[in-house]
Amino acid sequence: MSKKLYFEQGSEECYSLAHHIDNMRLFDYDHLVLFEAKRDTGSGYFFCTFHMEVGEVSEGGCGRMCEGYDPRNKKNGRCRHAGYCYDQTEKRILLKLIEDQVEIFTFEKFKKAVAKQAKFYPMLSKMKEFNEAFLRAAFESNQSPVDCCNSMTEVV
């Protein structure tokens, strides 16, 4: 089973979650917005892990004339360096650095965390449901569940 890959907001390259978390700590980010990557199939492009660049299948750029060509079956055919290209999806996750721990929030987990946190706010603890649009806006603006609850108490 392959690991999921993620694009950083505004980036054309995708990496594993562990890579993003390491960079988050290295560059001292307090949060990071990532988008899940989906394998691009049938587009006619491939990623060469030998040359670290995208190639077009129809150009025949991968074959015997390439110095890195290494057939998977050791005779001919698809090169073992031919990898996949990926597209960014709309599925978003938020990484938050909270007291040296990285919390990973999907929208569903964010909603649950807000509901749990709301118990500590007298005005919010009586609410059965929270406004879905308000929660989504808070999630997409990279607020923490605590910040979201603080914002809701100002509105209520």
Q: What angle do CA 122, 123, 128 make, to 5 degrees?
A: 100
Q: What's CA 100's distance to the chain center, in Å? A: 20
Is pLDDT above 80 for 156?
A: no
Is pLDDT above 80 for 54?
A: yes
Q: How far apart are CA 118 and CA 130, in angstroms?
A: 10
- Reported confidence tier of residue 44, pLDDT bands at 50, 70, 90: confident
pLDDT of residue 1: 34
The answer to whether the beta carbons of residues 9 and 33 sit under 8 Å apart is yes
* Average pLDDT for the chain: 81
